[in-house]
Amino acid sequence: MSVPRLTNSSSPASVLPKTPAKTDSKLEFFCGSCAAVINICCTFPLNKIMFRQQLLGLTTTQAVRQLKQEGLFNLYRGVVPILCQRTVTMSIMFGMYDKYKKILKQSYPSMPVYVYRPIAAMLAGSTEAMLTPLERVQSLLQDRRYDRRFHGTVHAFRELKGYSMREYWRGVMPILIRNGPSNVVFFGLRQPFKDMMPVVDTIRNPMLYYLEHFLSGAILGASISTIFYPVNVIKTKMQSRLGGKFLTCREAFFLVFNERGRSWRNMFRGVNMNFTRSLVSWGIVNASYEALRKLVYGRSGEELTS
C-alpha cells in the first residue's frame, strides 16, 4: 500500500483535517513590523540610490558614484525615519487589514469576501498615510542639498516646525493615491500568485515553503512598485521642497515632466533600480511575514482564517 505524498504542509500531522485558526490582529501588527525591520536593514542602500535617481534624474552609475564620494558614514543617513516609518507602515498594513476585515465581516455578515477584502485593503492603505511626516523627513535627509542643514531626524522635525505644521504633510496626496490601490492589488493577488507556484514537498524541503512566499511577494511587489513609480517621482519632487509654495500633484507632474524633456521614458528613470529593490524588498517582507506568522501561530498562513 503506497503512502500518499504530502504537499504544501509544514508537518506530517497535516494529513489530518485541521480546524482553521483565527488570526489575532495584535500578532498581525507584530509580524508586519518585524518583517519591515528585516527588510530595511537589508535594502536601505538600494532605496537611497533610487531616491537620488527619482530626485535628480541620475543614472544608476552616477547615483552609486555620488554615494561613494559621500562615504560609508553617510550611507545609512536617513535610515531612522524610514525604519520608523516602514516598521509602523508594515504593522498598519498587515494589522489594520486584518482588523478592518473583521470589522466589515462582523458589521455586514452577508458581504461577500471579494467585496470586504478590497475595502479592508483600501482602508488599511489610507490609514498608512498618517505616517506622511516620517516619509517627509526621510526625503529631506536623503537629499544632499540639506546635508548641512539638518543634523539628523530629531533636528529635521524641529526645523520643520519652524515653518508650519503643513510642512510635515507635503506629498500626502500622492501617498494616498499610491497606498490604497497598491494594497488592494497586493492583498488581492498575494495568495493567487503563490498558488501559481509548482507544488512542492515542504516536509522534505521546508525552505521551499519560504522560497514560494519570497518569489510570489517579490514578483507582485516589484510589479506594483513599477506601475506606481511615476507617483513616487511626483511625491519625491513635492517633498524635496522646503518652504514656499505647496505644489499640487498636477503641478509637480508637469514640473518633472518638463525638466525631463517632456519624455515619458525619463519619468521612469531609476525604475530599473526600483524594480530590483522592490523585488528583494517585497520578497523579504512576504517571506519574513509568513515565517513570523508560522512561528507565533504554530501553523502556516493557509491554515489561518480571519
Q: What is the pLDDT along the chain (306 residues), one digit of tens a residue?
A: 444 444 444 444 444 445 556 788 889 999 999 999 999 888 888 878 877 887 777 888 888 888 888 887 777 777 887 888 889 999 999 999 999 999 999 999 999 999 999 999 999 999 999 999 988 988 888 888 888 888 888 899 999 988 889 999 999 999 999 999 999 999 999 888 878 877 766 667 778 888 888 999 999 999 999 999 999 999 999 998 898 889 999 999 999 999 988 888 888 988 887 898 899 999 999 999 999 998 888 766 666 766
Is the pTM here over 0.75, yes or no? yes
Cell of 17: 483535517
Domain ranges (residues) in the chain = 21-296
Range 21-296 has CATH code 2.60.120.10: no
Could you tell me if 180 and 125 are in contact, meaning their C-beta atoms sit under 8 angstroms apart?
yes
Alpha carbon distance 220, 269 (integer Å) = 21
- Our CA angle for 97, 30, 286, nearest 5°, is 65
| Cell numbers at 32, concatenated | 508586519
